[in-house]
Amino acid sequence: MWRKLRILLLLLILLIVALNTYFDRVYSTDWNIPLRVTVYPINGDGSDNVAEFISQLKPDRFQNLEAFFDEEASHWGIALEQPVQFKSAPLLEKNPPALDRDANMLSILWWSLRMRYWAWQSPELPGAAPDIKLFVVYHDPALTPTVAHSIGMQKGLYAVVNIFADPSMTGSNDVITAHELLHTLGATDKYDPDNSQPLNPTGYAEPDKQPLLPQDYAELMGGRIPVTSAESTVPESLNQVVVGPITAAEIGWHKE
Ligand SMILES: [Zn+2]
């Protein structure tokens, strides 16, 4: 009896999450009005260095990201000016729930429910509610030389973005932020998870280029610029990144 009840409860939760996800998606990718993104900076290691870095962040630091989405969306036939608009929230004092590296299906489900709740209860800025919340966790490269994978939930319209508190990495931080943002809109990864090599042709910016390699640009969800069939480099900024046709279609960008 108790067992059946538990299963029923779990199914009910899954149903609610699934419905929620469906509506989130429908609303966020019709591109009739600009997508509003609120960015919450978080001090990932609690260090003074990161605190200092976050206190120096400028409210207009999203100009490159906004220009990137403006250009790419208009390339794919979206007539909106500034299709994605970013706003900065003040420093968030709480870290998002952590996900174990060896998490299984059930613990991921449990984590995603906690994460949804955590994202939902994060303080809202005055004005219209955001469509998407990005939790940007800054780390001191001296304390944390490699950061956990960023997670852009394809359900829930929020992402946890792990980046470095280092001014010289602003460009690559922007690329990671844009990549995770598109996950929340339904874009899928287009690289081999074993070696981070972009998939040919879907993860290539110019799959018809002659000769094919080396490529000059990265496809945003391919993540890197293919140099040879086994090597690729990390783009230094969004200037070296484009949104390819499959990614564009996944997020609802279509040429009329
Ligand atoms: Zn990804």
Per-residue model confidence (pLDDT) at position 168: 93
pLDDT higher at 182 or 19: 182
Per-residue model confidence (pLDDT) at position 14: 80
CA of 179 to the centre of ligand 1 (A): 6
Residue type, 171: G
CA of 1 to the centre of ligand 1 (A): 41
Q: How confident is the model at residue 240 (pLDDT cuts 50, 70, 90)?
A: very high
CB burial class (10 A; 0-12, 13-18, 19+) of residue 114?
middle
List all residues 6 or more positions away from 248 whose beta carbon is below 8 Å from its beta carbon.
72, 76, 254
CATH classification code of 32-186: 3.40.390
pLDDT higher at 146 or 168: 168
**Is it the case that residue 149 has pLDDT exceeding 80?**
no
Which residue ranges make up each domain of the chain? 32-186, 189-256
**Is it the case that residue 30 has pLDDT exceeding 90?**
no
CA of 91 to the centre of ligand 1 (A): 25
Q: How confident is the model at residue 39 (pLDDT cuts 50, 70, 90)?
A: very high
CA of 126 to the centre of ligand 1 (A): 31
CA of 151 to the centre of ligand 1 (A): 7
- pLDDT tens-digit series, residues 166-179: 999 999 999 999 99
